Amino acid sequence: MRFNRRENQIGRHTKRWGRHDGVHALPLSLPYGTGPLERGPRILLQAVIEPGDRTREGQLVRAVAIPWFSIVRRFRESPDLIYELDWRKWEEMIAGAYKAQGFDVILTPRSNDKGRDVIASSQGLGSIRFVEQVRAYGPNHLVTADDVRAMVGVLSLEGNVSKGIVTTTSEFAPGVAQDENIKRLMPYRLELKPRDALLKWLIDISEKR
């Protein structure tokens, strides 16, 4: 991911921070009370998943960490806190949600992810494999049809995928769901999950646990 960076002096140390598509991107070592997260809960900076072994596709998720549930509770109380998480933390939040549902989960690398941020699979009564793209955008940055077509491309290349999901902290641009190449895949092969649906999904999973 590419950031526009600028220096931010904190005490005797120099930290670097920027924005990614309207979302603050801060190093997890940034002290609480400095920078744009100072109004948010300290828990936003804590680990939300417990990593497991590495595979050729990415990092296995061994378990959901307690802060995952605390962050979701914060979202329920103050939905705009969703914009305080950077893009990688959002990928971890989504990975944690699938793990909490009992899926086997892989968090893909920060780069060269082949259009997949999270892979969730289940070998129960039937083999299920979801691939998800996470668009951590600010409220005024809409997900375009081209963004969604990138997931359609993933589905066309990977025959073992049950469904592709595009999730965003924002909304989808008008007309995206009516695009013929997108509409024909919904809802069984392709799902679009905007901000409100995302929040409801996370809250429902948290409450069930």
Which tens digits make up the pLDDT trace of 88-137? 999 999 999 999 999 999 999 987 767 799 999 998 767 899 999 999 99
Question: Please, are residues 25 and 86 in contact by the beta-carbon 8 Å criterion?
Answer: yes
Residue labelled with tokens 């969730």: 120
> Does the structure show a pLDDT above 70 at 21?
no
Q: Quick one: pLDDT at residue 124?
A: 73
The pLDDT tens digits for 72-86 are: 999 999 999 999 999
Question: Please, are residues 15 and 27 in contact by the beta-carbon 8 Å criterion?
Answer: yes
Residue scoring higher pLDDT (42 or 78): 78
Q: Which two tokens stand for residue 72?
A: 């979701």
The pLDDT tens digits for 152-195 are: 999 998 878 999 999 999 999 999 999 999 999 999 999 999 99
Residue scoring higher pLDDT (29 or 55): 55
Residues 189, 55: Cα–Cα separation, whole Å: 25
What is the reported pTM?
A: 0.79
- Looking at the structure, give the CATH architecture of the domain made up of residues 48-208: 3-Layer(aba) Sandwich (3.40)
Q: Which two tokens stand for residue 50?
A: 């417990």
